[in-house]
Amino acid sequence: MKPELRQYFRLNRLPHIWCPGCGNGIVVGALVRAIHDQGLNQDEVVIVSGIGCSSRASGYLDFNTVHTVHGRALAFATGIKLANPKLTVFVLMGDGDAAAIGGNHLIHAARRNIDLKAIVFNNSIYGMTGGQVSPLTPQGKRATTAPYGVVANAFDLTELAKGAGATFVARGTAYHVVQLTDLLKQGIRHKGFSLVEAVTQCPVAYGRQNKPADPDKMLRWQKENAVNIRNRHKYSQEELEGKFLTGVLCKKDATEFTEGYQHLRDLLDSHE
Amino acid sequence: MVLAGLILAEGAVLAGKNVVQTQTYGPEARGGATKAEVIVSEGEIDYPKVSKPDLLLAMSQAAFDKYASLIEPGDNTMVLIDSTIVTDLSKGLGNIIALPMTKIAVDDVGKAVVANMVALGALVTLTKVIPQKCLEEAALARIPKSSKDLNLKALRLGCEVAQKICGECGIAVS
Amino acid sequence: MNTHSRQPRLMQGNEAVAEAAIAAGVKFYAGYPISPSSEIAEICAEKLPLVGGTCVQMEDEISGIAACLGASLTGEKAMTATSGPGFSLMQENIGYGVMAEIPCVVVNVQRGGPSIGLPTSPAQGDVMQARWGTHGDHPVITLCPSSVLEAYSLTIKAVNFSEKYRNPVILLLDEVVGHMREKVELPEEGTLEIVRRKLPECDPEDYQPFKADDDGVPPMAPLGSGYRYHITGLYHDETGFPSSRPQVVEDLIRRLHRKIEDAKQEICLTKEYRTDDCEILVVSYGISNRSAYRAVKDAREQGIKAGLLTLHTLWPFPEEALKEAASHASKVIVAELNLGQMKQEVERILAGQVRVEGLNKVNGEIFTPNEILAGLGGTI
Ligand SMILES: Cc1ncc(C[n+]2csc(CCOP(=O)(O)OP(=O)(O)O)c2C)c(N)n1
């Protein structure tokens, strides 16, 4: 770890609970670097997380940290941000957390365009509970609760967020860590709801069931299948089959919710 | 009906009385049949619902059928009805006082919706539960400025017709 | 109750809750509409932005209470309101509030259940849910008004208790108390006792976020105040970090209970009417209490030695007050709009000393005084 990043970790809480080869640490590393590079004040950063392997990150990070309940991290964060808009609020979630049990909160946080920095650790599986199917498990892949392969379609969470009104949507991977850091930095700078999906590998719960279970190979898969949106035009529709886009997938301006609410208070004040 | 109950209750507060107002909704929270109950008292009010009404106001046939039929012989309940609408009195007991409230509202004020104000005026005049002044003040506080005059007119018409009836029936009005 | 009161006015129960909450310093409301509680949300939506506060309608009740807990973590006083179906949805997060010791007021304006039940009729079927609705062996505070004025004063108490004891407080109304309008004379705002949670006095480096003072309650630093710490619904030690060590687990759950248990003197609110010499004691709460009071008055006039114990606090149960009020009684009647939820508790406490009977009504209507008078053996 770079010495300048040590201050952001609760070193006495390490080692972490993540399995060898897990990509969560890489994503957290990118997040911390992004926070450092953006010069955020540690005391004014809140990390809210749900329940899952990835959500344990909040305990290792030396900020104001709130490890909430499964699926509701965005709702807790909405209260935090509304009550104190000065805080920079990150919301760390697993793909099950964000897309299944918390899917409705994701839609509505995006719709409100509240300035929360949502980061979804997409390992395509329920890690913490031992490999059950997630809404982001690709069709046909195996999970302990889909032993014959997943029947239903998977979500594209970035499309969902865009459709719901998120004003900054991006996707990166644990393999492309420089790009991921940059996307997180852009998310921090963005005023409004931002969602960064970080594709990460879970060799134990996902890899063992779907092969390869080797983290190197899983990272290589990310490398080979990620298509930077800037290069999209170089691919035909068939070539894009089975691949996924990375980079900034959506960015637009709209009134941020806490600012809109403050505007309402000011208006009411001036009418007094 | 709830608005009329509310105005009556607020008038009672202005008159320095204790008051409780409750309501019962129909199957839907809004729009269905509603019943408002108001208890006005000099003393403490414990049970907040009306056990034996001094006055029952029925503005619809359904309300009359449902509630006037609960009146028992010997109850001294005055039953005030909008005779424009409530025409079949076979199901109810009580001392019925029929006033064509909707007709008055339409003919003399030009708006059927103020029939409840005609009713309120009549009710207060008949029962003397609160002074007319308090009723008017409470009504004005609840009614949008734009329809103030219409409502006040309806209220006063209600008082007048009731007063006439009192004379005819020998009810003393102060 | 107090010498300074404001102009008498007509007020609705739900309105009293919203106004009292704001008077008690609540600055944050998040919830989801449901009859018969929605007026609380509507009034908060109108008034909170006028006092620098925030009211937000969330996507469901789960997120409503979650947002309140989040807001409370920043130091704001927060409240949400709902009715049966929404109260069921809130349960997991009520437990989070207990575990992470986050002040918050949850109003449940009870309607008939189970399920969608009777949306606009009164009931008292959520008494045990208020006690045990969230999983785990948790402490809870529940208050229950039977008039509009009590809705006001007990809301203030609810906010105060939640702040003082760092625990969610449940305020149980019912459809009639919530929608009823009564003449009230509210206390002057300056005369209200308003409590705010304890803040840490130590330096941030020395802050042990879950190390309690002698009263069992740890000081609470708002997020963003320079005290960086970790909050979790997992069992945790005094530092706030997860631990499953048996000693840590037991110490925490026992402390959470003890901080409420030790404060029962303050928290357990009751009212006694002619209990000094009563041979039949009526125990009641909420709207049922109104009819019970009338019935006891009528019974006394008929020479029946009846008395009434009104529970303003349901949980923790006011055991001492019950034992005292029942000390001369040969019979105790618990009148409630359910099939005997509180009766069981009363039986448990009086443990065979006195005969305990339930008077129960479950048809969507409140008791008439005569129904209770008949139970007292009075003539109607
Ligand atoms: C209400 C509720 N339901 C279920 C669980 C059990 N549970 C804990 S984590 C989890 C899913 C974890 O998967 P994900 O959100 O993708 O995060 P990961 O562990 O993969 O990082 C589940 C189902 C829970 N804690 N709470």
pLDDT of residue A257: 98
- What ligand 1 atom has the least distance to the C-alpha of A205? 20
CA distance A67 to chain C (A): 5
Nearest to A268 among C50, C70, C232 (CB): C50
In percent, the amount of chain B with pLDDT more than 90 equals 74
Q: Is pLDDT at B37 greater than 80 in this prediction?
A: yes
What pLDDT shows up at residue B172?
A: 42
* Interval between CA C234 and ligand 1 midpoint (Å): 14
Ligand 1 atom with the smallest distance to the CA of A136 is 16
Residue A38 has pLDDT above 50, yes or no: yes
The pair of three-digit structure tokens given for residue B27, joined into one six-digit string: 């199957």
Residues C281 and C154 reside in one and the same domain: no
Residues on A contacting C at a C-beta cutoff of 8 Å: 10, 13, 42-44, 46, 48, 58-59, 62-69, 72, 74-84, 86-87, 104-105, 107-108, 261, 264-265, 268
The encoded tokens of residue B103 equal 């007709």
Task: Give B118-152 pLDDT, tens digit per residue.
Answer: 999 999 999 999 999 999 999 999 999 999 999 99
What is residue B132's predicted lDDT score, i.e. its pLDDT? 96
- Cα distance from A243 to chain C (closest Cα, Å)? 33
User: Taking Cα atoms as reference points, which of B59, C239, A36, A148 lies closest to residue A28?
Assistant: A36
Per-residue buried b or exposed e for A96-134, using 16+ beta carbons within 10 Å of the residue's own CB: bbbbbbbbbbbbbbbbbbbbbbbbbbbbbbbbbeebbbb
What's the CA gap between A267 and A261, in Å, rounded?
A: 10
Of all residues in chain C, the one with the smallest CA distance to A104 is C59
Q: What pLDDT score does A222 carry?
A: 98
How many Cβ atoms sit within 10 Å of the Cβ of residue A233? 7
In a domain, C148, yes or no: yes
> Which of B151, B143, B59 has the alpha carbon at shortest distance from B114?
B151
Could you tell me if B150 and B114 are in contact, meaning their C-beta atoms sit under 8 angstroms apart?
yes
Residues C35 and C140 in one domain: yes
C180: chain B residues, CB-CB within 8 Å: 20-22, 48
Q: Can you give the pLDDT at residue B167?
A: 75
Cβ atoms of C98 and C139 within 8 Å: the answer is yes
SS3 of residue B104 by DSSP: helix
Q: Domain limits at A194?
A: 18-270
CB-based touch A/B (3+ pairs, under 8 A): no
Within a domain: residue A4? no
**Partner-chain contact A105 C59, CB within 8 Å:** yes
> Atom 2 of ligand 1 has which residue's CA nearest to it?
A70
Determine the average pLDDT of the residues in A21-45: 98
Overall number of domains in chain A:
1
Q: What is the CATH number of the domain that holds C85?
A: 3.40.50.970
CB contact under 8 A, C60 and A46: no
- Residue C70: which of A257, A164, A258, A65 has the closest Cα? A65
One domain for residues C77 and C173 = yes
- For chain B, what are the domain ranges? 2-169
Q: How many CB atoms lie under 10 A from the CB of residue A270? A: 7
Q: How far is A59 from chain C (nearest CA, A)?
A: 6
Which residues make Cβ contacts (< 8 Å) with residue C292, sequence separation at least 6?
Answer: C282, C284, C308, C310, C335, C367, C369, C372
Asked whether residue C135 falls in the same domain as residue C46, the answer is: yes
**What is the pLDDT at residue B174?**
31
Q: What CATH number is attached to the domain comprising C344? A: 3.40.50.920
Report whether C120 contacts B29 (CB < 8 A): yes
| DSSP reduced 3-state for C119 | coil
Q: Are residues C176 and C305 in the same domain?
A: no
**8 Å CB contact of C179 and B23:** yes
ipTM of the complex: 0.97
The residue type found at B89 is L
Q: What is the pLDDT of residues C309-363, one digit of tens each?
A: 999 999 999 999 999 999 999 999 999 999 999 999 999 999 989 999 999 999 9
Task: Classify residue C282 as left (phi > 0), alpha (psi -120 to 50) or beta.
Answer: beta
Q: Backbone dihedral region of B105: left (phi > 0), alpha (psi from -120 to 50 degrees) or beta?
A: alpha
For the sheet containing C104-110, what is the strand order?
C54-57, C26-31, C77-82, C104-110, C168-174, C141-143, C313-315
Report how far residue A145's alpha carbon sits from residue A142's, in angstroms, rounded to the nearest whole number: 8
User: Tokens 């955020």, residue?
Assistant: A40
Which residue type is seen at C212? A
Nearest one of C61, C57, C52 to C27, comparing CA atoms: C52
Domain coverage including residue C361: 270-375
Here the tokens at position B54 are 């001094």
Rounded distance from Cα B169 to ligand 1 centre (Å): 77
- Nearest CA-CA partner of A208 in A102, A125, A92: A125
Residue from the list B13, B16, B49 with its beta carbon closest to the beta carbon of C10: B13
Task: Mark whether C123 and C25 lie in a shared domain.
Answer: yes
In angstroms, the CA A55 to CA A121 distance is 9
Across the interface, do A83 and C70 touch by the CB < 8 Å criterion? yes
Distances in whole angstroms, Cα of residue C305 to Cα of each of C264, C288, C340, C368: 29, 20, 24, 20
- Which residues of C lie inside 8 Å of B (Cβ-Cβ)? 8-10, 35-36, 119-120, 176, 179-183, 287, 290-291, 293-294, 297, 366, 368-370
H helix or E strand, kind and range, residue A249: strand A244-251
Q: Which of C163, C191, C219 is the last residue before a domain boundary?
A: C191
Alpha-carbon distance A184 to B63, whole Å?
A: 65
Report the CATH superfamily, name and number, of domain B2-169: Pyruvate-ferredoxin oxidoreductase, PFOR, domain III (3.40.920.10)
Smallest CA-to-CA distance from A80 within A69, A71, A90, A93 is with A90
According to the model, what pLDDT value does residue B28 have? 46
The backbone torsions φ and ψ at residue C38, rounded to the nearest 5 degrees and listed phi first, read -60, -30
| DSSP-assigned beta bridge partners for residue C281 | C307, C332
* Same domain as C148, residue C24: yes
Whole-number pLDDT of residue C5:
72
Q: What is the DSSP string of A68-89?
A: --TT-HHHHHHHHHHH-TTSEE
The total of structural domains in chain C comes to 2
Domain co-membership, C26 together with C167: yes
**Is C68's CB within 8 Å of A79's CB?**
yes
Residues 6+ apart with CB under 8 A from B107: none
Residue of C nearest to A77 (CA): C70
Are residues C177 and C290 both part of a single domain? no
pLDDT of residue C6: 82
From A17, A51, A93, A125, the mutation candidate for ligand 1 (largest count of ligand atoms within 8 A of CB) is A51
Residue C201 resides in a domain: no
* C-alpha to C-alpha distance for B106 and B41, rounded to whole angstroms: 34
Rounded CA separation A247/A168 (Å) = 11
**A121 φ/ψ angles, rounded to the nearest 5 degrees:** -85, 100
pLDDT in tens, chain C (380 residues): 444 678 999 999 999 999 999 999 999 999 999 999 999 999 999 999 999 999 999 999 999 999 999 999 999 999 999 999 999 999 999 999 999 999 999 999 999 999 999 999 999 999 999 999 999 999 999 999 999 999 999 999 999 999 999 999 999 999 999 999 999 999 987 899 999 999 999 999 999 999 999 999 999 999 999 999 999 999 999 999 999 999 999 999 999 999 999 999 999 999 999 999 999 999 999 999 999 999 999 999 999 999 999 999 999 999 999 999 999 999 999 999 999 999 999 999 999 899 999 999 999 999 999 999 999 999 98
User: Residue A18: is its pLDDT beyond 80?
Assistant: yes
* Helix, strand, coil % over all residues of chain C, rounded to 5: 40, 20, 40
Judge if C186 and C276 occupy the same domain. no
* Token pair recorded at residue C152: 């006001």
Instruction: Indicate the average pLDDT of chain C.
Output: 97
Q: Which residues of chain C have a CB within 8 Å of the CB of B6? A: 10, 181
Whether A14 contacts A60, CB under 8 Å: yes
User: For residue B136, what is the enclosing H or E element?
Assistant: helix B132-142
CB contact under 8 A, A83 and C63: no
Instruction: Give yes or no: residues C28 and C135 share one domain.
Output: yes
* pLDDT tens digits along A91-145: 999 999 999 999 999 999 999 999 999 999 999 999 999 999 999 999 999 999 9
Asked if the structure places residue A12 within a domain, the reply is no
pLDDT category at B169 given cuts 50, 70, 90 is low
For tokens 């004691």, the residue is C281
Mean pLDDT of B75-98: 92
